[in-house]
Amino acid sequence: MDSTIIIEKSVIILVVFAITMVMAMYSTLAERKIAAWLQDRIGPNRAGKGGILQPLADGLKLFSKEEFEPDTPNKFLFYVGPAIAMSTALMTSAVIPWGDHFHLFGRDIILQVSDIDNAMLYIFAILSIGVYGIMIGGWASNNKFSLMGAVRAGSQMVSYEIAMGLSIIALLMMTGTLSLREISLQQEGLHWNVFYQPLSFLIFLICSFAETNRTPFDLAECESELIGGYHTEYSSMKMGFYLFAEYASMFISSTILAVLFFGGYNYPGISWAVENWGVNIANIIGIAILFAKICFFIFFYMWVRWTIPRFRYDQLMHLGWRILIPLSILNIMITGIVILRHELLAFLGF
Amino acid sequence: MSIETISLSGRKMQVSNKEMSFLERLYLVAIVKGLIITLKHLFSRKVTIQYPEQVRTRSTVYRGQHMLKRDEQGRENCTACGLCALSCPAEAITMKAAERKPNEKHLYREEKYAEIYEINMLRCIFCGLCEEACPKDAIYLTTSKVLVPSSYEREDFIFGKDKLVMPLEMAIKNTQLKNAN
């Protein structure tokens, strides 16, 4: 292996990490701004021009807060909780294709940290680990509210992972690959998967709300019942890590939604742009398009948050187990029938 | 017309318990409707008033801070009759009367004046009854936009004559305006 590939990948990793952090940081500002706008208010606008420095001020505040630790027998787990939440939120970005490729210095640079062929399985594995961050943190807090929040989060995320996985199976049957790069390439132009698999998209969207613990599924931290749920006992930057992880995973799940269903970096006329303007310019536009899609989904998350109230816990479980899972199994069956329609017709003798 | 169907306000609605249709039970239509409503609010006019820079427009009969007036010659009107203190529902006003010395004729209009005149701004409810009660046109609630300034000490909220009496410059200006008209 030559050393250039190490440099190339390191640069991509650094850039992706920085972008994820900045996006998560400014998601906090966007959340507050959009919340304000949807409620006919203005929102934070004192720190910097139009409140642009508000995330820095918030971060500084969290850093300077007193670090409080509950009298817990598991100090180690208490520290590990937010670390797991944060690192799992960041790890998923490794397999996202941010663009097709650049042609620089006489070589093709693939705009992806690692193009593993089972990227979808990797994402699901990381998402499953994400539960541990919340579970361990809530359990090590030695607080009944935290424990209840953690238990809620655990059962909710495990339940919705099933429906999420099943909804993706229908998509994978169609694409025939687990690699996100392959899936992106297949959706070239306007062949976006959302037009072929709308039901799968709807189920995946609802489940990703539940997986990121966003309203209407934020029962793990509902303020009115559990004070703060799993992060009740956390203070200072450990608290900040949990909040930050939530926004980072929101960014990542918006990216996954955009890549899986909305064509990723594809836009109508990308092949024409590659021919006429060159690979680099076409892909810069592609990256911009991908980020526009991601920003729309982040906005959608926030928009839904300030529209729909929180579910009751039994309603949440009812929706997950008795509606979404059967629906996604039905979707798999329909997809299978459509894929095998010629064989089926031949078998029936038409 | 039976008593059940009469609606005086015109807003009476019949409660129905009918079964929801399949489309209604999906809730997706209702969610989309809700999203559209919140989206409309995204573009609607914001109601926030940016306080220190912007100030809410006040009513023409707005009652602000009190002022003890002076007449055209700059003499204090107040005679310490105590009617304002008597009328005050919050019992915020106290005063101590004193007799005018012969060499103080340019300071006080009548033979008696208020040596001490204090309003407790923590008690005052700005009702304006003191202004109504005053027989000498001495106390007024101005339209001043400056509210009582904040402070850490309770004593700072008891306003004495130093804060309440109309400044001399203002009295001079008022007289000049009056003479000009």
**What per-residue confidence (pLDDT) applies to A152?**
87
Minimum mean pLDDT range among A22-26, A90-94, A287-291, B1-5: B1-5
**DSSP class of B57:** P
A306 touches B: beta carbon within 8 Å: yes
Q: Among all residues of chain A, which has the CA nearest to that of B48?
A: A41
A34 touches B: beta carbon within 8 Å: yes
**What per-residue confidence (pLDDT) applies to A228?**
74
A304 touches B: beta carbon within 8 Å: yes
- CA dist A65 → A48, A57, A307 (Å): 22, 12, 32
pLDDT beyond 70 at A42: yes
Q: Among all residues of chain B, which has the CA nearest to that of A35?
A: B42
Grade residue A295 by pLDDT with cuts at 50, 70 and 90: very high
Contact B34 A307 (CB under 8 A): yes
For residue range A106-122, list pLDDT tens digits in order. Answer: 777 777 878 888 888 88
A103 touches B: beta carbon within 8 Å: no
- CA dist B50 → A45, A84, A302, B55, B149 (Å): 10, 41, 25, 8, 18
Contact B44 A306 (CB under 8 A): no
- Taking the C-alpha atoms of residue B157 and residue A245, their distance in angstroms, rounded to an integer, is 48
Q: Which residues of A touch B41 (CB under 8 A)?
A: 37-40
CB atoms within 10 A of CB A230: 34
DSSP string of A186-207, one letter each residue: HT-TT--HHHH-HHHHHHHHHH
Q: What count of CB pairs under 8 Å joins A to B?
A: 32
Closest partner residue to B46 (CB to CB) among A42, A303, A308 is A42
**What per-residue confidence (pLDDT) applies to A177?**
85
**What per-residue confidence (pLDDT) applies to A296?**
92
Instruction: Please confirm whether the linkage preceding A216 is cis (ω < 30° from 0).
Output: yes
Over pLDDT 90: what percentage of chain A?
6
Closest partner residue to A308 (CB to CB) among B31, B44, B45 is B31
pLDDT beyond 70 at A1: no
Look at the alpha carbons of B148, B151, B157, B163 in this order and tell me if their dihedral is positive or negative: negative
Domain assignments of chain A as residue spans, ordered by start: 67-348
For residue range B2-51, list pLDDT tens digits in order. Answer: 667 777 787 877 788 888 888 877 788 888 999 999 999 888 888 888 88
Which residues, listed in sequence order, are joined to residue A104 by a DSSP beta bridge? A107
Q: Which residues of B are annotated as a binding site for [4Fe-4S] cluster?
A: 78, 81, 84, 88, 124, 127, 130, 134
- The number of residues making up chain A comes to 350
Maximum average pLDDT range among A22-36, A217-231, A267-281 = A22-36
CB atoms within 10 A of CB A78: 21
Enumerate residues 6+ apart whose C-beta is below 8 A from A204.
A164, A167, A168, A171, A257, A260, A261
Q: Which residues of B touch A304 (CB under 8 A)?
A: 35
Contact A308 B39 (CB under 8 A): no
**What per-residue confidence (pLDDT) applies to A300?**
92
A40 touches B: beta carbon within 8 Å: yes
Radius of gyration of chain A, Cα coordinates, nearest whole angstrom: 22
**What per-residue confidence (pLDDT) applies to B36?**
92
Dihedral Cα A95, A92, A270, A173, nearest 10 deg: 80
**What per-residue confidence (pLDDT) applies to A127?**
84
Grade residue B133 by pLDDT with cuts at 50, 70 and 90: very high
CA distance B152 to chain A (A): 25
Dihedral Cα A327, A328, A333, A338, nearest 10 deg: 100
CA distance B150 to chain A (A): 22
CA distance A257 to chain B (A): 19
B40 touches A: beta carbon within 8 Å: no
For residue range A160-191, list pLDDT tens digits in order. Answer: 888 888 988 888 888 888 888 888 888 887 78
Grade residue A62 by pLDDT with cuts at 50, 70 and 90: confident
A292 touches B: beta carbon within 8 Å: no
**pTM for the model:** 0.79
Over pLDDT 70: what percentage of chain A?
100
DSSP string of A111-152, one letter each residue: SSS---TTHHHHHHHHHHHHHHHHHHHHHHTT-HHHHHHHHH
B33 touches A: beta carbon within 8 Å: no
Q: What single letter denotes the amino acid at residue A20?
A: T
Stretch 115-174 of chain B: residues touching chain A, C-beta under 8 Å: none
Across chain B, mean pLDDT equals: 86
Asked if residues A233 and A139 have their Cβ atoms less than 8 Å apart, the reply is: no
CA distance A303 to chain B (A): 7
State the residue for tokens 């809530």. Answer: A138
- Taking the C-alpha atoms of residue A332 and residue A74, their distance in angstroms, rounded to an integer, is 44
User: Roughly how many angstroms between the first and final C-alpha of chain A, as a whole number?
Assistant: 55
SS3 A103: strand
For residue range A92-150, list pLDDT tens digits in order. Answer: 888 888 877 777 777 777 778 788 888 888 888 888 888 888 888 888 888 888 888 88
Mean pLDDT on A7-31: 88
Q: Determine which of B46, B47, B49, B51 to mutate to test the interface with A (most A C-beta atoms within 10 Å).
A: B46
Asked if residues A259 and A168 have their Cβ atoms less than 8 Å apart, the reply is: no
CA distance A301 to chain B (A): 11
B36 touches A: beta carbon within 8 Å: no
Contact A40 B34 (CB under 8 A): no
B30 touches A: beta carbon within 8 Å: no
CA distance A307 to chain B (A): 6
Minimum mean pLDDT range among A51-55, A306-310, B141-145: B141-145
B66-180 has which CATH code? 3.30.70.3270
Contact A42 B50 (CB under 8 A): yes
Grade residue B1 by pLDDT with cuts at 50, 70 and 90: low
Which residues, listed in sequence order, are joined to residue B98 by a DSSP beta bridge? B113
For residue range B90-130, list pLDDT tens digits in order. Answer: 999 999 989 988 888 888 888 888 889 999 989 999 898 99
CA distance B151 to chain A (A): 24
pLDDT beyond 70 at A199: yes
pLDDT beyond 80 at A206: yes
**What per-residue confidence (pLDDT) applies to A299?**
92
